[in-house]
Amino acid sequence: MESTNLTKQFKFGILALLVTGSIASAYLYRGFPAVSEARATTSVASLSQETDNIPTITLPDFAEIARIQGPAVVNISVSGSVKTGFSGSHGFPQVDPSDPFYDFFRRFQPPSPQNSVPTHGLGSGFIVDSDGIILTNAHVVSDADEVIVKLIDKREFKAKVLGIDKLSDVAVLKIEAKDLQTVKIGDPQNARVGEWVIAIGSPFGFENTVTAGIISAKSRSLPDEGYVPFLQTDVAVNPGNSGGPLFNTNGEVIGINSQIYSRSGGYQGLSFAIPINVAMNVEKQLLDHGKVNRGRLGVMIQQVNQQLAETFGLDKPVGALVSSVEKGSPAENAGIMPGDVILKFNGKDISRSAELPPLVSELSPGTAATIEIWRKGKAKTIKMNLGEMKVASSKDNSTKDDQAKLGLSLRPLTPEELSQADVQGGLLVENVIDGPAARAGIRSGDVILSVNGEKTGSIEELRKLVQKNGKRMALLIMRGEQQMFVPINLG
C-alpha cells in the first residue's frame, strides 16, 4: 500500500514539472522534499562520484566454509541421572496400576525420595586431532554417565571424558577413531570487531546447522565468569550449539560457542564464545596434567568509575581497584594494599577491572610478574611471583552458593566507603535476586554489618556464619544513616 502511494506521488511530481516547469514543493516520502531538476542532476553526479570511492563489500563464501569444515563438527548427546529431592506424594493421588488412566497420571506424579530421574542433553563439539580428540563445553558433559559423539557421516562413538575445566567451561573428549578430519585453528587476537563469523552446531538437536553474524565485541567479562575474555557475537546460538566452533572467514576456529544472554532461554542477539587460544591452553594442561594450573594474586578488585578516579587522582577511570588483600597471599607479600589501583600487568594496560583476572590466570603459578599500581597520586612498580589458584571443592558449597542462598550479590566495602560510612567492616549489597533476602526487604545499597551479632567484613566470614546459623538468622544492616536488624528465613 505504501509502495502504491509512493508511485502515485512520484508520478504527480513529474507531471507538475512537465506542465508548469516549476520546482515541486510536495513531500514525496516521509518528509523528504522534492528537488529541482538542476539540483537533482548535480546531486546524482555528486552521489555517483562519492559511490565510486566507497569500497565494495563482498560477503564471505559461507557455503564453502560449511562444506570444508562441517565434517569436523560433531553432535554430542549425553545421558545421566539425578537424585530427586521429593518426599512423599505431595498430595498427588495414589493410582492403582490396573486403572486405565494409570500411565497418564504417573507422568505427573513426583518420584519417590529414593528414585533417580534420567536426564538427557545435547551439545556440539569439534575435532582438533585426527586420532579422536574433541573439544566441547564442560557444561555439556559435566556429570554425564554416558557421552555419545555422532559424526557427519552418521557414525556414532562412545566418548571418554579426558578432562573438564569448569572455570573456563572447556572439556576434552576422546573417541576411538583414526584419520578424522580436523578443524583449522586461528588466532582470535587478530579478529576485529565487525568481522563476519559463522557457527556450526546442533541447536535443539538439528545437526550441522550453520548460522552467521559478526563479532560484536571482544574481551567481554560475564558475571561469575571472570577468567575468560569472551568474544561477543550476534550469531544465532541456541541450546545445542554449546561446545560448537566459531569460524572466521578463513575457515579457522577462533572460539567455542558457550553462552547466550536471554530472557526467554533462546537466542536474543547476544552470544558469547570462549577464545580458542584459551581453550587450547586448557586442553594442553588437561592432557598433560589432568588439571589446569592458574596463577593467582590474592586480591579482590572492583571497577574504577569516574568518581573513584577523581578521588584517587587519576586522569580518567582506568585500572582495577584493589578492595581487599588476602592474608598471606602473593599480593600481600609483595606489598600490594587495599586502595591501590592496578594500571598494568606485565606491561599490558588494564583499562577495565575485568581485564585483569584472565591475564593472571593464564600464567602458571610461580611465574614472575611486574605490576604497575597507582598509590597516593603516584605510579609505582611492584615485582612478585604468582601463587596458585585453588578451586573450591564441591563439598565446600563455595561462596557463590552461600550468596545464592540469601539471594544477594555482595562485595566488601572499599577503604573510602568504610571511611564514609564510619564502620570497621561490612558487605555492600550490589544486587538483590528473588529469594529470602528480597522477601525480608533487603535492598541494593544496604550494607550488611553482622549476622546474629557476629561482625562480617568479608565474603568468607559471611559464608561461615551462614553455614553456622542454619535456616534462621538476623542481619544487622546499615541503610543510609540508620542501622536495623532484618530477620531472614532460609527455610
| pLDDT, one tens digit for every residue, the chain (491 residues) | 444 444 444 443 443 433 444 433 333 333 333 333 344 444 555 555 555 666 666 778 899 999 999 999 999 999 886 554 444 444 444 444 444 444 444 444 444 444 556 778 899 999 999 999 999 999 999 888 999 999 999 999 999 999 999 989 999 999 999 999 999 999 999 999 999 999 999 999 999 999 999 999 998 888 666 789 999 999 999 999 999 999 999 999 999 999 988 877 788 889 999 999 999 999 999 999 888 999 999 998 888 989 889 988 999 999 999 988 888 899 999 999 999 999 999 999 999 888 898 899 889 999 999 999 999 899 999 999 999 987 644 333 444 444 556 777 788 887 777 777 788 888 888 777 667 887 888 887 888 998 888 888 787 788 888 877 777 788 888 887 788 888 888 76
Q: What is the dihedral sign for C-alpha 90, 96, 102, 106?
A: positive
Q: What's the CATH code, domain 188-289?
A: 2.40.10.10
Question: HEC profile for 306-374?
Answer: HHHHHHHCCCCCCCEEEEEECCCCHHHHHCCCCCCEEEEECCEECCCHHHHHHHHHCCCCCCEEEEEEE
Q: What's the CATH code, domain 394-489?
A: 2.30.42.10
Which one of the listed residues 124, 202, 242, 450 is annotated catalytic?
242
Active-site annotation holds for 112: no
Q: Is 439 helix (H, G, I), strand (E, B) or coil?
A: helix
Which one of the listed residues 169, 340, 402, 446 is annotated catalytic?
169
Would you list the domain boundaries of the chain? 2-53, 71-174, 188-289, 295-388, 394-489
Which one of the listed residues 139, 262, 351, 398 is annotated catalytic?
139
Question: Are 168 and 274 spatial neighbours (Cβ–Cβ below 8 Å)?
Answer: yes
pLDDT at 22: 40
Using the structure block, give the residue that is written with the C-alpha cell 548460522: 211
pLDDT at 327: 86
* Cα→Cα distances 447→73, 224, 308, 409, 415, Å: 49, 21, 19, 12, 14
pLDDT at 224: 64
What kind of fold does domain 295-388 have according to CATH? Pdz3 Domain (2.30.42)
Active-site annotation holds for 315: no
Contacts of 386 (CB under 8 A, 6+ apart): 295, 296, 297, 330, 360, 363, 364, 365, 366, 367, 368, 369
pLDDT at 436: 80
Active-site annotation holds for 289: no
Same fold, 71-174 and 394-489: no
Q: Which CATH superfamily is domain 71-174 in?
A: Trypsin-like serine proteases (2.40.10.10)
Nearest-angstrom CA–CA distance, 488 and 475: 7
